[in-house]
């Protein structure tokens, strides 16, 4: 888990994933922001990802790979940020790349209303935010020197 820095507008946390975590991220989500506590909901403002894969590109990357910031475990809970476009070249190229997930896309939200996990906003209460990479299999290749820096600016609001 990364260090959490409080600001006047919430907090910012940064976590650096190792190559091993990057490789297994399609099946093992990585906690970026811990659960906020009973009755609280994390509301991310922006997520920035900085991949340094100068030492080696990744393989087994789906053409429609998608990166998401999710509440809890994606299969059971709700996605918060979704990358609407393919980011497969983010992993298959080499070098240092930066990618931002700048706006929340709450499922079933209408006109900007917060509806997490269907129509019930309670689904995200007291759940951590995790990075999920939607790919059909774990990634291959890479290099032990590769890293993925994930920074999230976030609010924690009381909802219950």
Q: What does pTM read for this prediction?
A: 0.79
Report the Cα–Cα distance between both ends of the chain, in Å, rounded: 26
Neighbouring C-beta atoms of residue 140, cutoff 10 Å: 11
55 within some domain: yes
Question: In this structure, are residues 29 and 132 in contact, taking their beta carbons and an 8 Å threshold?
Answer: yes
Residue 131, both tokens: 């990075």
43 within some domain: yes
Residue 44, both tokens: 């991310």
Going residue by residue through the chain (160 aa), what tens digit of pLDDT does each one get?
Answer: 555 555 556 788 999 999 999 999 888 889 999 998 888 888 888 888 899 999 999 999 888 787 878 877 655 455 565 554 556 578 888 899 888 775 554 444 443 444 444 434 556 788 888 888 888 899 999 999 999 999 988 888 887 6
| Residue numbers of the domain that contains 70 | 9-158
1 within some domain: no
Task: Give the CATH number, domain containing residue 91.
Answer: 2.60.120
2 within some domain: no
31 within some domain: yes
Domain count along the chain: 1
17 within some domain: yes
Residues forming beta bridges with residue 46, ordered by sequence position: 153
């Amino acid at each position: 888990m990364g260090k959490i820095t409080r600001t006047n507008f919430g907090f910012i946390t940064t976590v650096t994933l190792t190559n091993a975590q990057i490789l297994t991220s399609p099946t093992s989500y990585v906690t970026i922001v811990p659960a906020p506590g009973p009755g609280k909901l994390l509301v991310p403002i922006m997520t920035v990802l900085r991949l340094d894969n100068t030492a080696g590109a990744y393989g087994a990357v789906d053409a429609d790979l998608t990166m998401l910031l999710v509440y809890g475990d994606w299969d059971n809970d709700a996605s918060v940020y979704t990358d609407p476009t393919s980011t497969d070249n983010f992993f298959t190229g080499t070098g240092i790349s930066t990618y931002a997930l700048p706006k929340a896309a709450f499922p079933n939200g209408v006109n900007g209303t917060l509806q997490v996990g269907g129509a019930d906003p309670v689904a995200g209460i007291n759940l951590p935010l995790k990075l999920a990479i939607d790919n059909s299999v774990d990634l291959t290749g890479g290099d032990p020197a590769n890293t993925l820096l994930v920074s999230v600016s976030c609010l924690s609001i009381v909802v219950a």
